[in-house]
Structure 1
Amino acid sequence: MSWLFFLTITIATFIIMEAITWCTHKYVMHGFGWYLHKGHHQPGYPHKFEKNDAFFVIFAIPSILLFYFGIRPELNFLFFMGLGILCYGIAYFLVHDVLIHRRFKWFKNTNNKYLRGLRKGHKIHHKHLGKPDGECFGMLFVPFKYFKNAK
């Protein structure tokens, strides 16, 4: 198979991960996984580590398994699906933990309208301290209204 095919699989998986993340955030994290996610919505955040960080490990498992089965018996498309999930995980970490919650002080002076819109959308999400009535569950694609006058 061609590298263009594998690149397409990686990019498609990355894009599909946003929809999976939205559904997981709304129905798992704000559903039966609220026990792990609850502290993330409480005042006093951010902490170095919190229960919510367990989701990073949980979401890494499919990627690891796809890498493993994607090289057996030879390199195949599963490897590149795992790579798409890994790339999304890295993007999620950089956007969510670094840019939005500033758990690491790497990009504190960004003036990019897209990144400011993402921050604004996530701030609206965190306005709700409880499990119900959440909004804006996405990470890389948020409604356009958050990009207007994003600060």
Structure 2
Amino acid sequence: MGLHILVFFLTFFMMEFMAWFTHKYVMHGFLWSLHADHHKKDHDSWFERNDAFFIFYAVVSMGFFLLWQNNILSIGLAIGLGIFAYGLAYFLVHDIFIHQRFKLFRNANNRYAKAVRRAHKMHHKHIGKEDGECFGMLIVPLKYFKK
């Protein structure tokens, strides 16, 4: 049981780096056509083409659940839940807290919340795929904690 808890937290932690890598080299790279509408709205829909990216990680997470369920990988559940938990945290922070796709968490104003908003604002300062910065989500560079 202890191993599974450790794997869950390690998976959650590693997902921040996977998200950074995917964001920088895939979303701002060869799949920019799906991510571009997140930086510059070119539609009237609530949904964005960018929303398709969650499907990839959801499928990976479900794959680990299936590996566990079919007794192929005993820590598959821990990995699948770690990916799921990161996806949920990403959704809460990015889509709800920062972009206010649902009007929740509007009054969160602590140092960490302000740093997350500043870093993401700097990321969205660039509407093209080049010259981006702050590709992660939950781990924020220290410079954004300064006033």
Superposition TM-score, scaled by structure 1 size: 0.92
Identity between Structure 1 and Structure 2 (%): 52
Moved more, 129-138 or 70-79: 70-79
Offset at residue 95 of structure 1 (A): 0.4
Structure 2: segments with no counterpart, 5+ residues: none
Deviation per CA, 1:88-133: give whole Å up to 9, x if none: 0000000000111111111001122101111110000000000100
Structure 1: segments with no counterpart, 5+ residues: none
Offset at residue 71 of structure 1 (A): 1.7
Superposed CA RMSD in Å reads 1.7
**Counterpart for residue 8 of structure 2:** 10
**Counterpart for residue 102 of structure 2:** 104
Q: Distance in 2 between matches of 1:48 and 1:63?
A: 25
Offset at residue 74 of structure 1 (A): 7.3
CA contact (8 A) 1:46 1:103 kept: no
Structure 1 counterpart of 2:29, from 12, 28, 31: 31
Q: Note if 1:59 corresponds to 2:54.
A: no
2:69 counterpart SS class: coil
Offset at residue 73 of structure 1 (A): 2.4
**Matched AA of 1:6:** H
CA contact (8 A) 1:97 1:103 kept: yes
1:63 counterpart SS class: helix
**Counterpart for residue 81 of structure 1:** 79
Q: Distance in 2 between matches of 1:109 and 1:10?
A: 30
